[in-house]
Amino acid sequence: MGARRRARGAHARRHPRSRTRRQVVAAYLFVLPALVAFGVFVFYPLVKTAYLGFFTTPPAPNLPSHYVGLSQYRSVLSSSDFRDSLWRTVQFVLYTVPAGIVLGIGLAVLANQRLAGIRIFRTIYSSTVATSAAVASVIFFTLLNPQVGLLSYWLGRKGGSGVLQSSSLALPAVSVVTIWQNIGLTFILMSAALQSVPDDLLEAARVDGASSWRRFRSVTIPLLSPMIFFATIVGIIGGFQSFGQIHILTQGGPNNHTLLLIYDIYKQAFQYDNTGYAAVLSVALFAILLLLTFVQFWFFQRRVFYAR
C-alpha cells in the first residue's frame, strides 16, 4: 500500500504539470512584484471606482456622501447625457477607424513597391508614431486657427468662424487629427502584414490570369484580414480612450459636440467634482473595452486554423 503510494508520488513528480509546494511558492514570489504593481495601480482603483458609483456626490464639499446602491448606476446609464456621449464616441470611432485603416493599407501598398528611395517614404509614413497626441493636437490647433491657420485659409474660412468652433465640423476635425496621428501605427501594422504575404502566392495568381486588382482583392486583402481585424479592434479601443486631442482642441465643445465618453468622465470627476457620476461612466467604459478585448482574444484563438 505504502509502496504503491510512493510509486504514485514519484510518478506525479515526473509529470510536468504537477508541482511541489516549494515550486508554487517560488512561482508566486516571482509574480509578486507585478501583482503588487497591478494591485495598487489597476485592481484597487477598479474596485474603488465601482464602489464610488454606489455613492452620490454631496452638493457641497465636506458634506457626507450618500450610499444609494445601484440606483445611481441605473439613473446615469439611462440618462440622455450618457447616451449622447456614447453615441458621439461611436461616431468618432466610425469616422476614425475605417478611414484610418483604408489609408494605412493604401500607404502600405504604395510603400511596398520596389522603388529607389522608397525607404524615405516609409519613414515619413510611419513618423506619426513618434508624435504624441498632444503634439499632433497643437500642430492642428495652429493649422486650424481661424486667424493664422493654414488649413483654415485653404478651407476658405480665414477670418470666419473656426472649424473647431463649428458644431457640425468640430467632431470631424478632431477625427481628422486622430486619423493623422494614428496613421503611422496603422501603416506599420499593414506594411508588416503586407510583407508577410508570400510572393509566390501573388505570382501564382498572376500566372493564373488574375489582374492586379483581382490579386489585391482576392489574395492580398484576405491575407491581410487578421491584421485588419487587429487594427480595427485596437483602433476602436484607442478611439474610446482618445483624450489628448479633445482636451487640447475643443475641451468637449462647442456645445458638447465633441464630448466623448472619456472626456465626460474627466469633466465630471475633475471639473464638477461629481465623482459618483464619473465612477459610473468609468465602469461603463471599462465594460465596453473589456468586451472588445474578449472579442479580440476570441478571434486570435480562432485564427490558429488560418495558419498554413
Partner 1 sequence: MRKDTARDFSDGRSRRPPRGDAMTSDLTAGFGERAVGFGERAEGFGERAAASSVAFEGVTKSYGPVTAIEDLTLEARGGELLVLLGPSGCGKTTALRLVAGLEDPTSGTVRIGDQVVNYVDAKDRDVAMVFQSYALYPHLSVGRNIEFPLRARQVPAPERRQLVATVAESLRLEQLLDRRPAQLSGGQRQRVALARAIVRRPRAFLMDEPLSNLDAQLRVEMRAELVELHTRLGITILYVTHDQVEAMTMGQRIAILNEGVLQQLDTPEAVYDRPANAFVAGFVGSPPMNVIRGRPVAEGDAPYVAVPGGRVGLSPPLARAVEDRYLSEVLVGLRPEALSLDPNGTIGAVVSVVELIGHEQHVALRLPGGQLVWVRTGSDAPRMRTGEDVKIAARGAVHLFDPQSGKRIDADPQSVERAGTGSL
- Record the cell numbers describing residue 75, joined without a space: 439613473
| 135-to-60, 183, 251 alpha-carbon distances in Å | 37, 15, 16
Report the candidate in 80, 79, 57 with the shortest Cα–Cα distance to residue 68. Answer: 57
Whole-number minimum distance, CB 307 to partner 1, in Å? Answer: 6
Is there a cis peptide before residue 59, judged by omega within 30 degrees of 0?
no
Q: First vs last Cα of the chain: how many Å apart?
A: 51
Whole-number minimum distance, CB 215 to partner 1, in Å? Answer: 9
- Any idea which residue has 510583407 for its cell? 195
Q: Closer to partner 1 at the Cβ: 286 or 306?
A: 306
Spatial separation of the C-alpha atoms in residues 14 and 69, rounded to whole Å? 52
- Record the cell numbers describing residue 162, joined without a space: 473656426
- Any idea which residue has 489609408 for its cell? 103
Which string of DSSP letters, residue by residue, matches 123-148?
Answer: HHHHGGGGS-HHHHHHHHHHHT-TTT
- Record the cell numbers describing residue 250, joined without a space: 475643443
| 71-to-76, 103, 280 alpha-carbon distances in Å | 9, 45, 11
- Any idea which residue has 506525479 for its cell? 12
Whole-number minimum distance, CB 118 to partner 1, in Å? Answer: 18
Q: Closer to partner 1 at the Cβ: 201 or 290?
A: 201
Q: Closer to partner 1 at the Cβ: 83 or 302?
A: 302
Name the DSSP letter for residue 47: H
Q: Given the rule CB under 8 A, which residues bind partner 1?
A: 198, 200-201, 203-211, 214, 218-219, 222-223, 225, 305-308
**What angle (nearest 5°) sits at the alpha carbon of residue 221, between those of residues 216 and 227?**
145
